[in-house]
Amino acid sequence: MSAATGAVMAAESSDIGNPAVNISIFAAFVAVTLIVVLRASRQNKSAADYYAGGRNFTGPQNGTAIAGDYLSAASFLGICGAIAVNGYDGFLYSIGFLVAWLVALLLVAELLRNTGRFTMADVLSFRLKQRPVRMAAALATLCVVFFYLLAQMAGAGGLVALLLGIDTSGGQSLVVAVVGVLMIVYVLVGGMKGTTWVQIIKAMLLIAGAAVMTAWVLAKFGFSISDLFQGAIDKAGEGGEALIEPGLAYGATSMSKLNFLSLALALVLGTAGLPHVLMRFYTVPNAKEARRSVVWAIWLIGIFYLFTLVLGYGAAALVGPDEIKAAPGGVNSAAPLLAYALGGEILLGFISAVAFATILAVVAGLTITAAASFAHDIYANVIKKGEVAPDGEVRVARITVVVIGILAIVGGIFAQGQNVAFLVALAFAVAASANLPTILYSLFWKRFNTSGALWSIYGGLVSCIGLIAVSPVVSGKVDPATGESLSMIKNVDVDFHLISLENPGLISIPLAFVLGIVGTYLSKEKAHPELFAEMEVRSLTGAGAEKATEH
């Protein structure tokens, strides 16, 4: 019996590998990272230590951590699954995620780091009215983080369900709860410093594991990409050509083309508005290290996404799209199934532990971003009007971590069975709609004012979430090609969607940019060119970046 056949049979029986081996590898990773987090926590003595890791990480270290933050469960589980099932069309996720880094590098990263202290709201409120802008930016951050957390939790449930043969919703819910508790411990104890080291370890393991699997898959096909593609087509059977032809997997209708355009826009513009990625730039000591961070991150992320092409088609060729969709975890199980087909239970255990590490590390990064946003922006600067001791702010941040962890657990239970990459794409749409227009206007438009910021943030946020609520993503619409439900809410029989776009970016992102302009010109607020000039100098030179400016 071939390894591929064994993987298929394992998938059908919902029992892959040896659960004892898988749990042992999981436990070893958790033990090592907890030791790292505990050691890092000894140096957490101030808000800067807790939020920004003391600002003493080097460019290569931070770049590796950024790659760890960015290469989430969507990158490893969701994209591999999307490519295995949809072929070329699934690979478009990888392209969008990678190209998005150019926008972040050229327009946002260094300027944001030079201007702010801990959060995105520091930048947005620099020359605008502090309290309303901080509140709006913090709410947008919390919404983006929540959508992203849903994706990671859904990936966790599907992954461990696959490894342990859990095919009940109760068992998967228990897995989600365990991930949430571990995440709370990591962030409560280690802060940004501990989280960063977990990200670095996880990124190195993930890229190394993907490299080994990529070389293994190519070796099975004589290091010929063409033979790999043909193997995927043959395994898929009738209609397998859709795996290598653009547009066939999702259909060639006008609506499918608009869906693709909307998805691409959200992916390319969303990265520059992701608060948990932007916050990483505050952990380096100066602008030079921030630039080095981005260069390292782009190389690591770019190499990894090339690996996903081989891994996705390898899963299609050695396991098969039908077997992947039938496995516990659905399309998110493609990478673990491929690992089992290649190297049996040992490789499966290692790769799955890496995927589990990926989820833990990313949810920890998301959680500390949300906690910093609430404690620093809402509690310290809006509620307490800046009059709060640093230890009091950190205490509130830790309480927030627990609350967010509980919400993430509840949300993750409801998100079970969704494609992780798809859920992350929704988070990108919210980030691009609510955050990016305001960031760009704040950095580059002298006339921009508080009213424009509020119109842009709230308009982008409400329109994006509202469009998601009335889209096929939430309604009971069924995909006519596959007969599968497109709904995030299971067992919904009523199709109540008002728009056919599955990702709202095509409407909400341009609308947010327009609302920023409209709100600015309708306001009678006096412009402050001197504050814009000061912000411009700081953003370009880094002068005074460590000092918070109140006005």
Q: What is the 3-state secondary structure (H, E, C) of 397-462?
A: HHHHHHHHHHHHHHHHHHCCCCCHHHHHHHHHHHHHHHCHHHHHHHHHCCCCCHHHHHHHHHHHHH
Q: How far apart are CA 345 and CA 322, in angstroms?
A: 21
Amino acid letter at 344? G
- pLDDT means per 10 residues, the chain with 551 residues, are 37 52 77 79 62 69 83 76 83 78 76 70 79 87 83 71 66 77 78 79 88 93 88 78 66 68 85 78 75 84 90 89 78 85 83 77 79 80 74 80 85 70 78 90 88 93 88 63 52 64 87 94 81 77 52 39
Domain ranges of the chain: 3-10+46-417
Determine the pLDDT at residue 165.
64
Could you please state the CATH topology (level 3) that the domain comprising 3-10+46-417 is classified under: Sodium/glucose cotransporter (1.20.1730)
Which residues lie closer than 8 Å to 463 by C-beta, 6 or more apart?
433, 504, 507, 508, 511, 512
Residues 231/221, Cβ–Cβ less than 8 Å? yes
Determine the pLDDT at residue 12.
38
Q: How far apart are CA 270 and CA 435, in angstroms?
A: 9
Determine the pLDDT at residue 32.
83
Number of residues that make up the chain: 551
CA-wise closest residue to 84 among 250, 317, 355, 344: 317
